[in-house]
Structure 1
Amino acid sequence: MRTAERSKIAKLSDKSGLPPGTPVYTGERSPDETKIRIFLYTEENYEEKTVLNLDELKDFSAKTGSKWVIITGLANTQLINDICEFYGMHPLTTEDILNTHQRPKIESFDDYIYIVIKVILPMEDEGIYSEQASIILFKDTIITFLENDDRIFEPLIRRLTASKGRLRKNGNDYLFYAIIDSVVDEYFEIFEIIGERLERIEDSVIISPEPEILEDIYSVRRDLIWLRKSIWPLRDVVAQLSRGEYYLISDNTEIFLRDVHDHLSQISETLETYRDLAAGLLDLYLSGVSNRMNEVMKVLTIIATIFIPLTFIAGLYGMNFSYMPELNHPYAYPGVLLIMLAIAVAMLIYFRKKRWL
């Protein structure tokens, strides 16, 4: 079992014996304080503020307009719990926000929709970094909870700051769609990186299947398995959002959500293709190693076959009999060597003719 899985189980064990709805943070502790950014906007106006405590958040939330609250850093469980209570969230929602090992899902309550989504970002070493995002849609407010990093939303924030178009005109449900879409768009970049890794591995397997390649293949396969666990449930979540079952989502936004579902279907097909390719690369690697071993065994077998008659001749004349007339012949030694050489050359010619060499 890998270290990450052991860490995950250890964190979840902290909740053992606690009643449902108990806020316990199960992610990695961040050294940063919980940061709260709030964006207030209408079609004509825009305001942004970073608040330091719940009282400031309450004052800002009382203003008229659509609001987007981004909360980064979940280690301060008391503050997270107070914020959730202020907005009237169910205790189980608070528990799920702090349990950062959730699979993508959707839950509907009387006055809000809660979804869990996995934010996946590339790393410098071609690996992938993931964290959980919890998104809550109210009538006039969206709240986004992130573990550590909100950089994925910076392009969306810039659009919100500069735009007086669709993003600020169509209401909170459209921003809700835009948040999901920005996360899904990042998946395409992840799969581009994985595709490049697979191409390099394929070239290496064909040219020289070294043992280090096997570790790379298994690394890609683990990433693909993990991505599948994050993407397939999300596709079901978006499909459910686009069916017109929620009064907080307008008919116009449902059309855009169906487009996100199409993107997720495309990503899922790419995922399955890459999984098949990774499995094929593993088979190709094992076949290449087997072929190299067969080549080595063939060379050793040919060498051993050539030496069989030579060993017989050497053994025959190595017997310690008193009467072996040819041993006294002046040309016996070079004659035997020539015979042995002729046999070896003849066998090599025969092997070459049979294309065994």
Structure 2
Amino acid sequence: MTRFIINQKIKKGEIPGKPVFIGKQKEESIRIRLIGFDATNFVEIELDNLNEITSYREKYTNIWINIDGLHNVAIIKEVGLLFNMHPIVTESIVHTGSRAKVDIEENYIFTIIKMMFLNPQKKELEAEQVSMYLAKNILLTFQEKQGDIFEPIRERLRTSKGRVRTHNTTYLKYCLLDTIVENYNFLMEIFGLRVEELEDKILLQPSKDTLEEINATKIELNYFRKTIRPAKEAISNFKSFKTDLITKKEQPFFNDLNELIHRAHENLENYKSMLSEQLTVYSTNVNNRLNDIMKVLTMFSVIFIPITFVAGIYGTNFDYIPELKYKNSYFVMLGSMLVIIITMVSYFKYKKWF
């Protein structure tokens, strides 16, 4: 399966709104974790049955339910029915090729965004779809696999560090989105260093390996661009739509989120432009080196043409050549060749041809 395109043949002919899992299964089983919290109370538990959710909703002001694994469509449908989700929402959750978006309705906010990782072995970017369903005092998040960058937020909830325990699930959703977007900027710093290193290589000693690195980096940035552009468009919706789920007190946080993703997108475009310029510089350097080589070869040819001419005269097949009988003819010929070489080299240096 390619990174840029997800095969959607399985969806062909299905009824619109019917949840069908599209993507690569990344977990053997689905894990459901629940965190209930307020300023004074906290609970974290892994659920075996969705029916347990009701009792916790009655005990805790705020509930965060995280589901790892999207391949079990039956469970996702059950969650959708439990929280009265629109069929299009559950359909989008299990479609891992969904475009980043924010749907703001009267009683819920549904968000899809991609979480990005850099594979240290392959040195390639990988994406995981994260869906967030926010209703009053409850946040549901859906991920493709276990293990993510949200653990610091869970730790802040456990230890009551920061303001997350004293706020509601809207602020929690902002924290999760902020973590994803900050990770975009962190990855941009890594690629920024890579682009600068490539620039040094091009100026010092460009090689075929350098060209391959430039092309590989361009592919990764194009993949990143495929993710970050729709995410930027989606997050900008938080500024334009009005909803009771985001109060005036919470709106500045989402405005800051919009600025963060704009910064990441601008850095991405800058690095793509730098890579294009580096390709131009690389091509220019290679052409200059080729021109230098051709110049040297041409000079050697120009120098040896008159010498060959002189030697050719004495190699003609005639019985009578006046200089042949002269005792020092050979040395005169060598001296003439040497004078020609010195004269031509001096002329080339005068003209600054080398």
**TM-score normalised by the chain length of structure 1:** 0.92
Query: What secondary structure does 2:133 align onto?
Result: strand
From 98, 107, 125, the equivalent of 1:128 is 125
2:66 corresponds to: 70
- Identity score, percent: 35
Residue range with higher mean Cα deviation, 280-289 or 319-328: 319-328
Shift of 1:109: 3.8
Change (3 A) 1:349 1:165: closer
TM-superposition CA deviations, 1:240-266 (whole Å, max 9, x none): 213451221111111111111111222
Preserved CA contact (<8 Å) 2:106 2:243 = no
The one-letter amino acid paired with 1:315 is G
**Whose RCO is larger (CA < 8 A, sep 6+)?**
2
The one-letter amino acid paired with 1:32 is E
- 2:14 aligned with 1:18: yes
- 2:114 aligned with 1:118: yes
- 2:278 aligned with 1:281: yes
Change (3 A) 1:226 1:175: same
Separation in 1 of the partners of 2:174 and 2:161? 17
2:83 corresponds to: 87
Separation in 2 of the partners of 1:352 and 1:304? 16
Preserved CA contact (<8 Å) 2:125 2:224 = no
Counterparts of residues 239-318 of structure 1 (less than 5 Å): 239-243=236-240, 245-318=242-315
Shift of 1:346: 1.8
Separation in 2 of the partners of 1:150 and 1:111? 30
Gaps of 5+ in 2: none
Separation in 1 of the partners of 2:134 and 2:47? 20
Shift of 1:329: 2.3
Preserved CA contact (<8 Å) 2:110 2:131 = yes
Separation in 2 of the partners of 1:219 and 1:32? 32
The one-letter amino acid paired with 1:77 is V
Residue range with higher mean Cα deviation, 101-110 or 14-23: 101-110
- 2:197 aligned with 1:229: no
Separation in 1 of the partners of 2:201 and 2:170? 48
The one-letter amino acid paired with 2:112 is V
- 2:41 aligned with 1:41: no
Query: What secondary structure does 1:40 align onto?
Result: strand
- 2:181 aligned with 1:187: no
Counterparts of residues 325-336 of structure 1 (less than 5 Å): 325-336=322-333
**TM-score normalised by the chain length of structure 2:** 0.93
The one-letter amino acid paired with 1:40 is G
Preserved CA contact (<8 Å) 2:156 2:162 = no
2:3 corresponds to: 4
Separation in 1 of the partners of 2:133 and 2:98? 15
Change (3 A) 1:270 1:4: closer
1:354 corresponds to: 351
Query: What secondary structure does 2:243 align onto?
Result: coil
Shift of 1:354: 1.8
TM-superposition CA deviations, 1:144-177 (whole Å, max 9, x none): 1111244210011111111265212221111111
From 153, 158, 161, the equivalent of 1:161 is 158
TM-superposition CA deviations, 1:180-231 (whole Å, max 9, x none): 1111111121011001101111111111110111121122222222222322
Separation in 1 of the partners of 2:57 and 2:154? 18
Residue range with higher mean Cα deviation, 92-101 or 117-126: 117-126
Residue range with higher mean Cα deviation, 224-233 or 260-269: 224-233
The one-letter amino acid paired with 2:38 is T
Separation in 2 of the partners of 1:193 and 1:205? 19
Change (3 A) 1:164 1:153: closer
Preserved CA contact (<8 Å) 2:35 2:43 = yes
Preserved CA contact (<8 Å) 2:115 2:128 = yes
Preserved CA contact (<8 Å) 1:133 1:146 = yes
Preserved CA contact (<8 Å) 1:142 1:176 = yes
Shift of 1:106: 1.2
Separation in 2 of the partners of 1:130 and 1:259? 23
Separation in 1 of the partners of 2:51 and 2:2? 40
The one-letter amino acid paired with 2:215 is Y
Preserved CA contact (<8 Å) 1:243 1:254 = no
Query: What secondary structure does 1:330 align onto?
Result: coil
Separation in 2 of the partners of 1:271 and 1:326? 76
- 2:206 aligned with 1:206: no
Query: What secondary structure does 2:164 align onto?
Result: helix
2:320 corresponds to: 323
Separation in 2 of the partners of 1:327 and 1:140? 111
- 2:142 aligned with 1:145: yes
Gaps of 5+ in 1: none
Separation in 1 of the partners of 2:99 and 2:312? 74
Shift of 1:350: 1.6
Q: CA RMSD in A?
A: 2.0
Separation in 1 of the partners of 2:344 and 2:161? 86
Preserved CA contact (<8 Å) 1:34 1:76 = yes
Preserved CA contact (<8 Å) 1:103 1:229 = no
- 2:24 aligned with 1:28: yes
